[in-house]
Amino acid sequence: MELHHPGEILKMEVIEGRGLTIGKAAELLGITRPTLSNILNGKAAITPNIALRLETVFGGTARFWIRLQSSYELFIAKKNFLKNPPKIKHFDFV
């Protein structure tokens, strides 16, 4: 299973879904076009501040975007963890 960066979801569902350009969406959110572009391209995370902006401008909840970002980051971390596991063992309680 492959999880998509929340920026891809933001791009498809919110920006393209409303017929907006990246520049116009960035203007509405009060952020720079490069900042939004980095999020949409998976090069930057949806921070709590960005999530609150999304909630204010487009509706929905900031919590939704934060959960998407957190789930994505955990997915990537687990993938990397399993690829190169540390030398640790499970602790068994007696």
**How far is the C-alpha of 84 from the C-alpha of 19, rounded, in Å?**
42
Q: What is the pTM of this model?
A: 0.89
pLDDT band at 94 (very low <50, low <70, confident <90, very high): confident
CB contact set of 18 (below 8 Å; sequence gap of 6+): 58
Closest to 10 measured CA to CA, from 71, 49, 48, 51: 51
Query: Can you list the pairs that 71-80 forms with residues at least 24 positions away whose Cβ atoms lie under 8 Å?
Result: 71/3, 72/3, 72/4, 72/5, 72/6, 73/45, 75/3, 76/3
Q: Please, what are the domains in the chain?
A: 6-83 (1.10.260.40)
14-65 confidence digits (pLDDT tens): 999 999 999 999 999 999 999 999 999 999 999 999 999 999 999 999 999 9
Cβ atoms of 36 and 25 within 8 Å: the answer is yes
Query: Tell me, what's the pLDDT at 3?
Result: 87
Residue 1 pLDDT exceeds 80: no
Query: Tell me, what's the pLDDT at 2?
Result: 78
